[in-house]
Amino acid sequence: MSYGNLLYVVDGGVATVTVNRPDKLNALNHQTLSELAHAFDAAKADDAVRAVVVTGSGEKAFVAGADIGELLEVAGQAEKAAELAAFGQGVFRRLEELGKPSVAMVNGFALGGGCELALACTLRTASTNARLGLPEVSLGIIPGYGGSQRLARIAGPGVAREWILTGDMFGAEEAHRVGVINRLFAPDELEEGTRKMVKSMLVKGPVALRFGMEAVLRGWDLDQAAGEQLETEYFGKASITEDMREGMAAFLEKRKPEFHGR
């Protein structure tokens, strides 16, 4: 598939979506967001794609935020600004609801909308020289692409308040410490380490992966009892799959399972 501001490559069951505006540190303008929406839909519809990696072009940035030039165009227009936020939120929700695991491979600055893009992925890896943050308050605005909600859910309201209210940039180690980054790698090991983690998921039952993701995603706003009810439903649904029989049989026969995703 060919895009103006993205690279989209499918290899070995993994779609890699690379935001490709390195001269603008991969800032997300309207065209890039539209292309991301298209790429996420393509990855969802393609049975050959079982996981997605999202990253940025160049040495310096994952994504340095929403395009500030475009943000300025909606200054003084509450409705237009709200529309812009809703549009970006919709794009990132598509990624979150892909039904396949996605990993943000954070290879540099992940600021503002870039940090929010990473937060919308199922998991996040980062190189030790990555820097993350939500600097919107420095521009007189707040995060608009779901960041205030996702960061609070992923790392807790204390961390979300600290990141959103200070607008500071945080090193990858700090982001890892507070649970924003799942796995940290030396810069020259980021790609390999991330791919290895993705591979470890690809050999698991695809339906189980989907149910596991949905149980967490749909459960995080529920109380414990309602969440357990949801878990029970997914557990029941998983137990009528062929994958369940295959997984158990393979264990008992001391061989590797061959899942078919049904």
In the complex with ligand COA, the residue whose CB is nearer, 64 or 159, is 64
Question: What CA–CA distances, in Å, run from 53 to 6, 43, 177, 199, 261?
Answer: 13, 11, 22, 11, 20
| Least separation in angstroms between CB 114 and ligand COA | 7
Q: From the candidates 136, 191, 214, 246, give the one annotated as an active-site residue.
A: 136
Q: Which of 51, 38, 40, 67 is nearest to 213 (CA)?
A: 51
In the complex with ligand COA, the residue whose CB is nearer, 145 or 234, is 145
162 a catalytic residue: no
What DSSP designation does 250 have? H
Q: Is 25 in the site for ligand COA (CB under 6 A)?
A: yes
In the complex with ligand COA, the residue whose CB is nearer, 81 or 216, is 81
Pairing of strands 131-133, 169-171: antiparallel
Of 39, 52, 66, 197, the residue at the interface with ligand COA (CB under 6 A) is: 66
Of 19, 64, 126, 159, the residue at the interface with ligand COA (CB under 6 A) is: 64
* Footprint of ligand COA on 100-119 (CB under 6 A): 109, 111-113
In the complex with ligand COA, the residue whose CB is nearer, 65 or 101, is 65
| Least separation in angstroms between CB 96 and ligand COA | 20
- Is 180 within 8 Å of 206 (Cβ atoms)? no
Of 24, 50, 100, 124, the residue at the interface with ligand COA (CB under 6 A) is: 24
Q: Is 136 in the site for ligand COA (CB under 6 A)?
A: yes
In the complex with ligand COA, the residue whose CB is nearer, 133 or 206, is 133
Burial code (b: 16+ CB inside 10 Å, e: under 16) for 106-121 equals: bbbbbbbbbbbbbbbb
In the complex with ligand COA, the residue whose CB is nearer, 169 or 201, is 169
* Footprint of ligand COA on 26-55 (CB under 6 A): 27
- Is 164 within 8 Å of 134 (Cβ atoms)? yes
Count other C-beta atoms under 10 Å from residue 39's C-beta: 24
Pairing of strands 14-19, 6-11: antiparallel
Distance of CA 140 to the CA centre of its chain: 26
| Least separation in angstroms between CB 69 and ligand COA | 6
How many residues bind ligand COA (CB under 6 A)? The answer is 16
| Least separation in angstroms between CB 166 and ligand COA | 13
Which residues, including other chains, have CB under 8 Å from residue 257's CB and lie 6 or more apart? 203, 205, 243, 246, 247, 249, 250, 251
Q: From the candidates 116, 174, 192, 228, give the one annotated as an active-site residue.
A: 116
Q: Is 67 in the site for ligand COA (CB under 6 A)?
A: yes
- Distance (Å, whole) CA 101 – CA 110: 20
Q: Is 147 in the site for ligand COA (CB under 6 A)?
A: no
192 a catalytic residue: no
What DSSP designation does 138 have? G
Catalytic positions, please?
116, 136
Residues that bind ligand COA in the complex, under the rule CB under 6 A: 24-25, 27, 64-69, 109, 111-113, 135-136, 139
